[in-house]
């Protein structure tokens, strides 16, 4: 009886080991196939890896101009330069404001022509969105924009590829102020100061309800913490860089 039990146990152990071996082999083979055929996902720049205490704040402008003058005056008061991403129909409606933003020393980035979901567009449609607004901006300020922020933060590999091939750096953000939710002044200040780090890119909107109230507080808080606020064009690396899987841009080592 004992002999039969031992034999049964041995057979059971052998079967279990065999099953485990089959599952493991199948899994490793599947992973190998995935690694061979999958491509690395293209990413925009969410933030920059730097030891310097530098951050960039940015404003998306698509609808309205009610607070833009106040924003520019506040930035002048604190002697800060930032980045404005402009949609084509905003450029059409406020051409003099586009010129003023540029004349006051701020970056002007491209934010598309019609504010679409870029991942739903073909390469030809993406290029049209880039070119139409890029040409409008260049005509007004004499400089071709090199920064592009996709509306809604929506992108795919195709968009990043088209941007790169047309001399644009695709820019996202790693700190979203959520100012568009109109939660009040202090929630914006707290959210930004809590999440910012070296190399952060902060997202604001030029027509957010409380922007003229929270902006001075955010600037003062960042400066108190030792951060220098710079335009995105001065924060990012223009060459010899690579992206990690979080969208953080790194300088290649020599």
Query: For residue 32, is pLDDT > 90?
Result: no
The CA distance from 6 to 61, in Å, is 77
Residue 23 has pLDDT above 50, yes or no: no
Note if 60 is an active site residue. yes
Q: Does the annotation mark 111 as catalytic?
A: no
Q: What is the pLDDT of residue 30?
A: 41
For residue 87, is pLDDT > 70? yes
This prediction has a pTM of 0.83
CA dist 114 and 92 (Å) reads 11
What average pLDDT does this structure show over 206-212? Answer: 95
pLDDT digits (tens, 9 = 90+) for 69-80: 999 999 999 999
Q: What share of the chain is helix, strand, coil (3-state, %, to 5)?
A: 50, 15, 35
> Which among 102, 205, 244, 254 is annotated as catalytic?
205
| Count of beta carbons in the 10 Å neighbourhood of residue 150 | 26
| Closest listed residue to residue 87, CA positions, set 119, 67, 115 | 115
60, 107, 174, 179: the catalytic one is: 60
Condensed to tens digits (0 to 9), the pLDDT of residues 97-145 reads: 999 999 999 999 999 999 999 999 999 999 999 999 999 999 999 999 9
**Which class is domain 47-251?**
alpha beta
64 CB burial (10 A radius; 0-12, 13-18, 19+): middle
Mean pLDDT score across all residues of the chain: 90
pLDDT band for position 253 (50/70/90)? confident
Domain residues of the chain, as ranges? 1-38, 47-251
Residue 39's pLDDT is: 56
| pLDDT computed for residue 10 by the predictor | 65
């Amino acid at each position: 009886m004992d002999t039969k039990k031992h034999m049964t146990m041995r057979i059971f152990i052998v079967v279990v080991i065999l099953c485990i071996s089959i599952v493991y082999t199948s899994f490793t083979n599947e992973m190998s196939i995935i690694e061979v055929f999958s491509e690395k996902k293209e990413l925009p720049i969410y933030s920059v890896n730097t030891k310097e205490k530098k951050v960039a704040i940015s404003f998306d402008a698509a609808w309205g101009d009610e607070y833009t003058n106040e924003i520019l005056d506040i930035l002048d008061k604190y002697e800060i330069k930032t980045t404005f991403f402009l949609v084509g129909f905003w450029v059409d409606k406020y051409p003099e404001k586009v010129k003023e933003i540029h004349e006051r020393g701020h970056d002007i980035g491209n934010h598309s022509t019609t504010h679409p979901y870029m991942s739903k567009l073909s390469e030809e449609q993406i290029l049209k969105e880039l070119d139409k607004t890029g040409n409008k901006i260049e005509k007004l300020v004499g400089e071709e924009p090199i920064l592009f922020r996709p509306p809604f933060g929506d992108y795919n590999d195709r968009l990043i590829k088209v941007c790169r091939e047309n001399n644009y750096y695709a820019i996202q953000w790693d700190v979203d102020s959520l100012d568009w939710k109109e939660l009040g002044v202090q929630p914006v200040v707290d959210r930004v100061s809590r999440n910012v780090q070296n190399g952060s890119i902060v997202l604001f909107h030029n027509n957010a309800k409380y922007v003229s109230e929270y902006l001075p507080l955010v600037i003062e808080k960042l400066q108190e913490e030792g951060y220098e606020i710079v335009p995105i064009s001065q924060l990012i690396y223009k060459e010899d860089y690579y992206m990690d899987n979080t969208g953080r841009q790194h300088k290649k080592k020599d």
